[in-house]
A and B are shown apart, each in its own frame.
Chain A
Amino acid sequence: MARKTPTFEEALAQLETIAEQIERGEIGLEESIARYEQGMALVQQCRDILTRAELKIQQLQERADGTPELTPMTPPPESS
């Protein structure tokens, strides 16, 4: 599993940090704008994750040798 994308919490924390850096005015205007753009990209990334439309469902089984086996699964039909 690729763990490259930050979790939602991590992303929010990063956004906080960037906002603080800009608010404190310790970094220059150019740098601030660069950070701002970085932050906006992060926002977009989070939004993309959050607005993923389809649930990813997998079924877990154990093979005879005790290793896990994941198979994609479609939701069972509605049993109302």
Chain B
Amino acid sequence: MAEERAAAFTKRSIKTSAKLAGLKMVVSMMDLTTLEGKDTPGKVAYLCRKALQPAEAKYNVPPCGAVCVYPNMVKYARKFLGDNSPVHVASVATGFPSGQFPLPTRLNEVRRAVTDGADEIDMVINRCAFLAGDHAKMFDEIAAIKEACGPAHLKVILETGELVTYDNVRLASEIAMQAGADFIKTSTGKVSPAATMPVTLVMLEAIRDHFFATGVRIGMKPAGGIRNSKQALHYLVMVKETLGDDWLTPDLFRFGASTLLNDVLMQIARRVDGNYQGPDYFSLP
């Protein structure tokens, strides 16, 4: 039924004013991401500027939720954005994307990223421990990393493409939330399949049950594979109808995406101007 329910959200018809409002919300929820070996301070500057002002002022588009970069790029992002930026600095860490590194190395990486100015840490879980059945180890590591985060928000990446089953996704979600995750996140974007609607639904359901049990609202971040406006709106519909209004905020829902933004901006421009514009009219991040 998870696939069926997820497919039902894609049947919602989002038109006119709802489409415009939804797309602007999508921008505000976006973790604008660059995770390449070839990233440089210059590339990060492009990304930060784009996140601060995604489109011309006349479109009245909010800034993105965060920029998401590798730990070595955090200090450049922080420098560009300054301390009072509405755009957060998120850093992947803990031996991203595999996580196959000793714990002290991973902890150190987290501390360095936070010291350099990261507001949010996107860690990967120890899939090796989880799949081998050592759930306690997975839990303890997340708890240790949470501690190392200090005041920074922790997003826990499950890498659902490697967990494969919904049962695994559900269990890993529960462990992550109990160990101190502020957000749970589907994927690194480096493994296929990345985020899918049914997997995200299973995680949203886990968040819902965690809220009823503990009173704590955990955030959700699907990442990877969300490339166009229509898909993004489907995810928004799923959040609205699964967790309700309280989660329709960048504090509790984010998209991890690198190419989604300009497609969303094109659709916003279409709604505002009444006609489509070519991609050349939208600056690259």
State whether these chains interact. Answer: no
**Which residues of chain A have a CB within 8 Å of any CB of chain B?**
none
Please give the residue numbers on chain B whose beta carbons come within 8 Å of chain A beta carbons, in ascending order.
Answer: none
